[in-house]
Amino acid sequence: MSMAYAGPVIDPHHHLWDLSLGKHPWLAPRNDGEKAFGSIDAIRTDYGIAEYLRDAKGQNIVATVHVEAGWSDADPLGESGWLDSLDRSSGVAARYVARVPLASPDAPRLLEAEAANPAVAGIRDIVSWHPDPAQSFVRSDGMMSDSDWRAGLKTASDLGLVFDLMLFPWQMDQACLLVSDFADTQFVLNHCGSPVERSPDGVAQWREGLKRLADAPNVAIKISDPVAYDHDWTPDSLAEVILHCIACFGPSRAMFASDFPVSGLHADFAALYGAFRQIASAFSMDEQEALFFSTANRIYRLGLSATDTSGERALV
C-alpha cells in the first residue's frame, strides 16, 4: 500500500459569496422546503477567501477553481466581475467556472465575454431535474436535448470552455447522448454524479449510469461533496462511492474537490480531505497526484508544476 498523499493540492470546486450584495437568491431565508442535501441554514452567511483559507488550513492547497454559486440571472457577468475584484494572490479562485444560461438568446454574447476573461476556464448551467419540485434545481426535464440549449453549449465549446455537468442519476441516459454528440467538448461531471437515491435500486442506477458515462473519453468526474448524500458518513461508506468513481474514470479523469462551504453542512474540511487521503492511499503516488492535483491542473488549464509548487505556493 502506498503512503497517503502529501504533495500540492488543487481544489477544483468550491464557492464564495458576499450576502450583502444581494446576488444569491437561493441563500435568502425562505420556508419552501429544502434541496436534496437538506437544510442550508448553516451556510446562509458570508463566505469569502478568508473563510475558505480558514477552513482549508493545513491541506497544502496551491490553487482553486471557483464554481458559479447561483448568482442572480438579473446580473449576468456580475459574478466573474466580483471575483476579479478580489485579492486572489493566494491562489484561491485562480480559475472560474462561470454561469451562463445556455438556452438564453443572450448566451453567445455572455459566453464570448466570459471566454475573454483569462480566469474563466469553464461554464456551468445546472441540468439537475427532480420529479419533486422541492428537490429540483431546474424547472423542467430535457434541457440536455433542447436545441437552443445545445446551441449555447456549442458556442461555449467552440470558445474552448470546459462544461461542468451537474445532474441526477436518472438523467444519465440523456447525458450519454449529449457527450456523444459533443465529442470535442470536455465535460466534468459534478459531485460524483449525485448519488442521492440511497435505496439498492437507486444505488444500482447510479453505478450503472456512471459506468456508461465514463465510456466517453471526453468526460471527467469531480469527487466532490460525497457527504451531501451520506449525512451519517464514515470513511468506509464514502469509499464505496469514491472507489466506484475512480474505477469508472481512472485517476487521470478524476479529481478530489471540496465543494465548500456546502460540504461543510456535513463535514469539516480536514475530515473530508482526511477521508480522501485515506481512501486514495491504496493507489500509487502518481495516481494520487492525479487525483489531488494533475487532473484538475490539466483540465482547468492552471499551468502549475507539482514540483515547483510543492512547499512554495501552498495557500495555507
Q: Which cell numbers hold the place of 49?
A: 477567501
- So where are the chain's domains? 9-309
Q: What is the CATH number of domain 9-309?
A: 3.20.20.140
Cα separation, 281 vs 3, whole angstroms? 6
Work out the percent of the chain whose per-residue pLDDT is above 90.
76
> pLDDT-based confidence at 310, cuts 50/70/90?
very low
Looking at residue 1, its pLDDT comes to 53
Q: Spell out the residues 6+ positions from residue 255 whose beta carbon is closer than 8 angstroms to its own.
A: 10, 12, 220, 221, 222, 223, 290, 291, 292, 295, 296, 299
Q: Using alpha carbons, select from 225, 307, 244, 212 the residue that is nearest to residue 36.
A: 225
pTM over 0.85? The answer is: yes
SS3 (DSSP) at 157: helix
Flag whether pLDDT at 134 surpasses 80.
no
Amino acid at 137: F
Do you know the residue count of the chain? 316
Q: How far apart are the first and last CA of the chain?
A: 28
Cα separation, 244 vs 248, whole angstroms? 6
- Strand positions, DSSP E, 100-239: 120-124, 162-165, 187-189, 219-224
Q: Tell me: the pLDDT tens digits for 28-86? A: 876 444 454 567 888 999 999 999 999 999 999 999 999 999 999 999 999 999 999 99
Q: Using alpha carbons, select from 95, 9, 12, 50 the residue that is nearest to residue 274.
A: 9
Q: Tell me: the pLDDT tens digits for 211-257? A: 999 999 999 999 998 888 888 888 888 999 999 999 999 999 999 99
